């Protein structure tokens, strides 16, 4: 092949490149504007037409117009702001456009490397096992194109190139694992704008029960919890996420934490504990667990009461919820120690005021009803219990699509519709408590979860979202009341999933129902649990393998971490990995292990090959030697005799069956080699007196 000359791209390479582009772009499709795909398809068609010789390469102006078109299109589809989606769209458009100006092998390499890059960008959006497996296939196809590009014209089968690529990548797997484990996790040098799509959650910053007539129920995962010891009963699992302290016109909001005195959040490892935290009196044995939270794009995290987060970057808020520094934009793993506790022994006056504040007017029937009830039960606990009894004994119903409530929503709910979900009950309960001056607040979070027996963890999904109440009792602190339990005990005892299964309401919630249906088949449930736990392991061990986990893992493995130890271990592991990759080839190597005679023949041929007289495949040693003898008269005799002997040893009447090398042959060859080298030296001197040329024999 002549360097510098434009090298055509082989057909199989082009076919594989187009295929690999399709494979690489496919997972991005849901995020892309449809015209982007059409654009790519047009470029592919054009490219095929170029290959068939029907169309020509686009001119400079056409290309320029395409580029401007692409940029304007991306700007119009995704807006002007710089975020991930438009960037990826631009990348894909560049990939398509590059097809049109691909003339030489070098251009093709650029397109192939861009393909790898597109594969990498996919992981900014998703890191599940399925997508990883898919991208492995994508890497194989892209590498297949790379292999085909370097194969000669008369290799028409792209399947062979793909197989080669697969073998190459398979050999790379052990080393990849070693690098994954040992390579330092460097914090990114630049920030990537995060995907635009927001996560769906069952929780929001505000709670307005009256205006919601249909509670959206998503089966999307919120987080997974692994308990260090036994998993507690589902009904005790109240995952606190957010507290709503301010009520205005039927809407609960958390109120600003900044209003609180003292540091509103105590960050883990961040100095001495504030007074409010010291007042908490933990009881009982702690429960330790770790949580892998899905991205919420909110700073809130999930924990049981009373929680002390152990992971850096997390903290506990003044209202005892666990928080993350900044929004959780990617899957986050943290550890928590919780223990039932008497929460906060003292309530300062400003705090008491905040937790009892209510609008002065509204809901007259409720005010009257609560006043009467308070007359009967002067003690806060007794009043709360009475209210719970009221919910339990009166015809209240738990429903996911309650009727809308107008003004004086609490009145309407308590005395007219009497239908609602957790938010309604918690809201009404807290409202009632505040009316008589008992500090109370609504707590939003998740309740229960789904125990996965395969992975031994609890998966909490968005449909487990729940709201309950907390009231302040002097001398005891914050006490949890869950009025929903009084109305629909099943919801709490069995979990959301089970409570709605078989219910008439099922029909209204497609996704929800679908799962309820198939989960009745044991083996399906088993498979579901298995896949879910696999995904969980993947998240824990692979996706969230960061500096701290790396350190911990290596410490477990090596003891104290010194650069020396880590270096040695990494080196050893890499060595083993390379060895494993090589071992895959050992059977082939063993099979190809050449008998001494053949190796001798190789040496003989190699000696002359370098001087520009390579052996032709069809030449027997004897014939080759005769040709060499003509060319190098100085060693004529030795060469000829050796060639003849060699041929005789290989094919002659006494040819050794085991291919052993006759002793005499070997020594003769050494002699010949010496003579030949001397001859070369002499010739070189003769032709290049100054000896500055590395030229070969003539």
Q: Catalogue the active-site residues.
A: 422, 466, 482
Instruction: State the minimum distance, in angstroms, from the CB of residue 607 to other proteins.
Output: 15
Which residues have CB under 8 Å from 196's CB, separation 6+?
83, 84, 85
Instruction: State the minimum distance, in angstroms, from the CB of residue 618 to other proteins.
Output: 5
Among 130-138, 180-188, 227-235, 610-618, the segment contacting other proteins (CB under 8 A): 610-618
- The two tokens of residue 153 are 């014209």
Could you give the dihedral angle defined by the CA atoms of residues 238, 244, 247 and 250, in that order, rounded to the nearest 10 degrees? -60
Nearer to other proteins, 107 or 619 (CB): 619
Nearer to other proteins, 229 or 657 (CB): 657
- DSSP H or E stretch at residue 430: helix 422-435
Q: How many residues does this entry show for the chain? A: 698
Q: Tally DSSP H helices, then E strands, for the chain.
A: 24, 19
Nearer to other proteins, 559 or 653 (CB): 653
Q: Is 184 exposed, middle or buried (0-12, 13-18, 19+ CB in 10 A)?
A: exposed
Residues within window 96-155 making contact with other proteins, judged by CB under 8 A? 154
In degrees rounded to 5, what are phi and psi of residue 637?
A: -65, -50
Site for other proteins (CB under 8 A): which residue of 360, 618, 664, 691? Answer: 618
Nearer to other proteins, 466 or 601 (CB): 601
Instruction: State the minimum distance, in angstroms, from the CB of residue 175 to other proteins.
Output: 31
Do 419 and 407 meet the contact criterion of CB atoms below 8 Å apart? no
Instruction: Provide the 8-state DSSP code for 209.
Output: G
Residues within window 644-683 making contact with other proteins, judged by CB under 8 A? 644-645, 647-648, 650-653, 655, 657, 659
Contacts 24+ apart (CB under 8 A), 48-51: 48/18, 50/100, 51/11, 51/14
Instruction: Provide the 8-state DSSP code for 237.
Output: -
Nearer to other proteins, 56 or 618 (CB): 618
Nearer to other proteins, 203 or 661 (CB): 661
Instruction: State the minimum distance, in angstroms, from the CB of residue 549 to other proteins.
Output: 50
Q: Is 343 in the site for other proteins (CB under 8 A)?
A: no
Coil, strand or helix at 266:
strand
C-alpha 567/C-alpha 562 separation (Å) is: 8
Nearer to other proteins, 541 or 651 (CB): 651
Nearer to other proteins, 85 or 647 (CB): 647
Residues within window 270-299 making contact with other proteins, judged by CB under 8 A? none
Quote the Cα angle for 461-466-471, to 5°: 145
CA atoms within 13 A on the CB side of 268: 19
Instruction: State the minimum distance, in angstroms, from the CB of residue 630 to other proteins.
Output: 15
- The two tokens of residue 163 are 């197989």
C-alpha 648/C-alpha 41 separation (Å) is: 64
Coil, strand or helix at 3:
coil
C-alpha 333/C-alpha 342 separation (Å) is: 27
Nearer to other proteins, 137 or 655 (CB): 655
Instruction: State the minimum distance, in angstroms, from the CB of residue 225 to other proteins.
Output: 58
Instruction: State the minimum distance, in angstroms, from the CB of residue 155 to other proteins.
Output: 9
Q: Is 619 in the site for other proteins (CB under 8 A)?
A: yes
Nearer to other proteins, 593 or 694 (CB): 593
Q: Which residue's entry shows tokens 């504040």? A: 357
Pairing of strands 419-420, 322-324: unpaired
Residues within window 620-649 making contact with other proteins, judged by CB under 8 A? 620-623, 641, 644-645, 647-648
Residues within window 151-210 making contact with other proteins, judged by CB under 8 A? 154, 156-157
Coil, strand or helix at 596:
helix
Site string for other proteins, 580-609 (x = CB under 8 A): -----------------xx--x--------
Instruction: State the minimum distance, in angstroms, from the CB of residue 623 to other proteins.
Output: 7
- The two tokens of residue 95 are 């990939």
Tell me how many residues contact other proteins (CB under 8 A): 26
Instruction: State the minimum distance, in angstroms, from the CB of residue 49 to other proteins.
Output: 23
Nearer to other proteins, 534 or 598 (CB): 598
Instruction: Provide the 8-state DSSP code for 545.
Output: -
Ranges assigned E (strand) in 294-433: 307-309, 314-317, 322-324, 332-338, 341-342, 397-398, 419-420
C-alpha 305/C-alpha 343 separation (Å) is: 9
Question: How crowded is residue 633: how many other Cβ atoms within 10 Å of its Cβ?
Answer: 10
Which of 282, 285, 323 is closest to 302 using CA atoms? 323
Q: Is 15 in the site for other proteins (CB under 8 A)?
A: no
C-alpha 690/C-alpha 189 separation (Å) is: 55
- CA distances 205 to 244, 255, 443, 444, 685, Å, are 8, 10, 11, 9, 89
Instruction: State the minimum distance, in angstroms, from the CB of residue 601 to other proteins.
Output: 5
Coil, strand or helix at 292:
strand
Instruction: State the minimum distance, in angstroms, from the CB of residue 612 to other proteins.
Output: 19
C-alpha 551/C-alpha 267 separation (Å) is: 22
Binding site for other proteins (CB under 8 A): 154, 156-157, 597-598, 601, 616-623, 641, 644-645, 647-648, 650-653, 655, 657, 659
């Amino acid at each position: 092949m002549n360097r510098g000359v434009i090298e055509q791209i082989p057909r199989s390479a082009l076919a594989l490149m187009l295929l690999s582009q399709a494979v690489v772009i496919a997972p991005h499709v849901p995020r892309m504007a449809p015209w982007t795909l059409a654009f790519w398809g047009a470029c592919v068609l054009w490219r095929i037409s170029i290959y068939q010789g029907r169309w020509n390469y686009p001119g400079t102006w056409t290309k320029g117009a395409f580029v401007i078109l692409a940029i304007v299109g991306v700007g119009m589809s995704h807006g002007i702001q710089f975020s991930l989606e438009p960037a990826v769209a631009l990348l894909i458009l560049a990939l398509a456009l590059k097809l049109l100006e691909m003339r030489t092998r070098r251009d093709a390499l650029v397109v192939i490397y861009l393909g790898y890059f597109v594969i990498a960008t996919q992981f900014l959006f998703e890191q599940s096992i399925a997508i990883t497996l898919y991208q492995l296939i994508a890497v194989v196809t892209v590498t297949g194109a790379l292999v085909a590009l370097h194969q000669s014209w008369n290799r028409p089968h792209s399947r062979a190139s793909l197989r080669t690529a697969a073998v190459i990548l398979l050999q790379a797997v052990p080393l990849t694992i070693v690098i994954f484990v040992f390579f330092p996790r460097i914090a990114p040098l630049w920030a990537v704008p995060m995907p635009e799509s927001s996560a769906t959650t069952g929780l929001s910053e505000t709670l307005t029960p009256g205006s919601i007539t249909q509670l959206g129920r998503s089966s999307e995962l919120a987080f997974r919890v692994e308990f260090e010891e036994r998993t507690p009963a589902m009904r005790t699992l109240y995952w606190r996420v957010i507290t709503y302290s301010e009520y205005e016109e039927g809407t609960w909001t958390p109120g600003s934490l900044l209003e609180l005195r003292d540091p509103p959040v105590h960050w883990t490892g961040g100095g001495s504990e504030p007074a409010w935290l010291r007042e908490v009196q933990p009881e009982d044995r702690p429960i330790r667990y770790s949580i892998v939270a899905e991205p919420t794009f909110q700073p809130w995290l999930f924990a049981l009461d009373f929680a002390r987060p152990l992971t850096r970057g997390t903290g506990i808020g003044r209202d005892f919820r666990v928080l993350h520094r900044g929004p959780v934009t990617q899957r986050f793993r943290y550890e928590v120690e919780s223990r039932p506790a008497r929460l906060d022994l003292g309530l300062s006056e400003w705090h008491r005021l905040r937790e009892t504040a209510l609008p002065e007017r509204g809901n007259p029937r409720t005010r009257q009803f609560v006043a009467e009830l308070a007359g009967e039960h002067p003690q806060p606990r007794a009043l709360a219990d009475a209210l719970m009894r009221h919910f339990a004994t009166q015809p209240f119903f738990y429903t996911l699509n309650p009727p809308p409530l107008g003004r004086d929503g609490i009145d309407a709910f308590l005395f007219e519709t009497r239908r609602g979900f957790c938010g309604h009950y918690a809201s009404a309960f807290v409202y009632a408590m505040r009316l008589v001056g008992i500090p109370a607040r609504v707590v939003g979070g998740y309740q229960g979860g789904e125990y996965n027996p395969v992975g031994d963890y609890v998966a909490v999904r968005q449909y487990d979202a729940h709201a309950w109440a907390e009231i302040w009792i002097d001398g005891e602190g914050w006490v949890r009341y869950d009025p929903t339990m009084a109305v629909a005990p099943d919801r709490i005892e069995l979990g959301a999933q089970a409570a709605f299964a078989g219910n008439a309401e099922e029909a209204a919630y497609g996704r929800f129902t679908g799962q309820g249906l198939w989960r009745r088949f044991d083996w399906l449930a088993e498979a579901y649990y298995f896949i879910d736990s696999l995904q969980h392991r993947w998240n824990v061990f692979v996706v969230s393998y960061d500096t701290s986990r790396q350190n911990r893992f290596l410490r477990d493995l090596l003891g104290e971490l010194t650069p020396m130890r880590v270096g040695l271990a990494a080196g050893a592991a890499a060595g083993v990995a390379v060895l494993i990759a090589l071992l895959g080839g050992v059977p082939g190597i063993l099979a190809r292990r050449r008998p001494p005679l053949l190796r001798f023949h190789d040496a003989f041929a190699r000696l002359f090959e370098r001087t520009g007289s390579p052996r032709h495949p069809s030449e027997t040693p004897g014939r080759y030697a005769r040709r060499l003898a003509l060319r190098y008269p100085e060693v004529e005799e030795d060469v000829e005799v050796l060639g003849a002997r060699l041929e005789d040893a290989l094919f002659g009447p006494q040819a050794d069956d085991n291919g052993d090398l006759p002793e005499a042959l070997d020594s003769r060859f050494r002699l010949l080699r010496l003579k030949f080298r001397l001859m070369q030296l002499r010739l070189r001197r003769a032709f290049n007196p100054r000896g500055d040329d590395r030229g070969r024999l003539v």
